[in-house]
Amino acid sequence: MPHVFEPAPTGRAKCRGCGRPIEKGELRFGERIPNPFAEGETTLWFHPLCAAYKRPESMIETLAQAPKDVPDPEALERAARGASAHRRLPRISGAERAPTSQAKCRHCHEPIARGAWRIRLVFYEEGRFNPGGFVHLACRAAYFEGADVLAPLLHFSPDLSGEERAELVRACGEAADSPPPSKKP
Ligand SMILES: [Zn+2]
Ligand SMILES: [Zn+2]
């Protein structure tokens, strides 16, 4: 069966992309995948924008059939095309300040200092998004191959305060605009 957009019949299902509930009546995206545990297919439910970032190919395929009732399909398409162009972007699961300095960065393998910004990663496998560690925010260009990470970072960080979001935007802008001081001539 093809993937679907449909209004959520109840408010009980959680979005696989962000872990938050999908409100009753809210439009949701259902990705049909072969059931990893049994015969037949199973459906993974998402907020549409969460699916665009985390399951871009399925979103692009479904948008191509031009469903009429989807609000702002251009935004979904943009997000999905961006995520689809960089194989690691769908791993983004938000940003946070490291609560301890125990985790190591998946990119540079150095510890992430307590209080430093880090990006949460998840890995998709057989219908599940498994926690996959962290990278330094400062390692984003190298790890994500220069892709613009800010929009998905903000999207998957709903718990940040307005002030923290502004800080994150600033932090992403700064390092991208100017090379590190050591590399200046
Ligand atoms: Zn979601
Ligand atoms: Zn790093």
**pLDDT tens per residue across span 57-107:** 999 999 988 677 788 999 999 999 999 999 999 999 999 999 999 999 999
| Phi/psi at 2 (5° precision) | -75, 160
Centre of ligand 2 from the C-alpha of residue 123, in Å: 18
Over the stretch 115-129, which tens digit does the pLDDT of each residue have? 999 999 999 998 999
Q: Retrieve residue 75's tokens.
A: 């935004």
Q: Point out the ligand nearest to the CA of residue 152.
A: 1
| Ligand 1 center from residue 141 Cα (angstroms) | 25
